Amino acid sequence: MTRVLATGVFDILHAGHLHYLYEAKRLGDELVVVVATDSTVRKRKHEPVTPGSMRLELIRAMKPVDKAYLGKEGDIFDIVREIRPDIIALGYDQQFDENDLEGELKKRGIAAKVIRLSKYEDDLNGTRKIIQKIVDWYTFKKKIDKAEGEK
């Protein structure tokens, strides 16, 4: 059995996440997902919109996911060592260099292949894009409402 590990924030779920998880699942028999903790999200990206427990619940409910866990603080390789994946599937925009990651895994005695997955081409393929679209809509709506109020 080939176990695949995928990781991510999964803050506001979108089609890009679904594409990532389905593509990762096709690499093996079992897909295990690690959802980033709130503190990790704050350190690496932004203030999370949804709490880690909610993000984990949503990921667990997704069809391609066999198991999902909330990440841990500290050494990112601890949970990788526990899961023992055969493959680590990286999203197209995840900030890891495949060769560096494979080297770090080997140093720690973790024999996992690292595979970079393809980009999903959609205009709302990212959480920040969705947030920006909402902000733009809200700003536009306020201008319209203000203009109508001045008539």
Residue type, 65: V
Alpha-carbon gap, residue 42 to 127, rounded angstroms:
14
**CA-to-CA separations, 133 to 43, 125, 127, 129, in angstroms, rounded:** 24, 12, 10, 6
CA 94 to chain centre: 8
pLDDT digits (tens, 9 = 90+) for 32-47: 999 999 998 888 877 8
Region 101-106 average pLDDT: 92
Domain boundaries, the chain: 3-120
What class is the 3-120 domain? alpha beta
Confidence of residue 123 (pLDDT cuts 50, 70, 90): low
Under DSSP, the state recorded for 76 is T
pLDDT exceeds cutoff 80 at 148? no
Cα diameter, the chain: 71
Identify the H or E element spanning 131.
helix 127-149
Mean pLDDT of the chain: 88
Residue type, 23: E
The reported pLDDT for the residue numbered 142 is 77
Residues 6+ apart with CB under 8 A from 54: none
pLDDT digits (tens, 9 = 90+) for 44-65: 877 888 999 999 999 999 999 9
pLDDT exceeds cutoff 60 at 66? yes
The reported pLDDT for the residue numbered 126 is 64
Q: Please tell me whether the overall predicted TM-score, pTM, comes out greater than 0.85 for this model.
A: no
Alpha-carbon gap, residue 117 to 97, rounded angstroms:
13
